[in-house]
Amino acid sequence: MDTKAAVLPQSTDFKTAYIPATVQQPTWQPPIVVLQPQKPIDDIPDFLPWSYINILCGGILLGCISVCCSMCVQNYKQQNDYVAAKRCSIITAIWNALVIPIAIGIAVLIFKYAGIM
């Protein structure tokens, strides 16, 4: 095999020595927009009945936080803000699910240190 590098011809005529490749300008394409259908905003649960139950079973403070979260969901639904209402609804569901175990834990600690258990 011949390992010599290719040698370009030496020329003083610059028009024939180098011919640049044609460069095509990029063409503009409109952006692609993908729309996902949203469910109706009325389908987002606010968990208000569960929040009221948490006032009775989970204590006033924890239950009031639950009710505030539920009312936050209702406000976002009235403003027709689907994303914020959905996010707040998920937070409300998680908080409501945590209130009862937290309240049970607090009650056990109170009864344990009060000498009832």
Domain boundaries, the chain: 44-117
* pLDDT score, position 63: 92
pLDDT category of residue 25 using cuts at 50, 70 and 90:
confident
CA distances in angstroms from 66 to 4, 9, 84, 100, listed in the order given: 81, 83, 17, 11
**Token digits of residue 20:** 């640049």
Task: Name the pTM for this structure.
Answer: 0.63
| Rounded (5°) CA angle 43-47-53 | 155
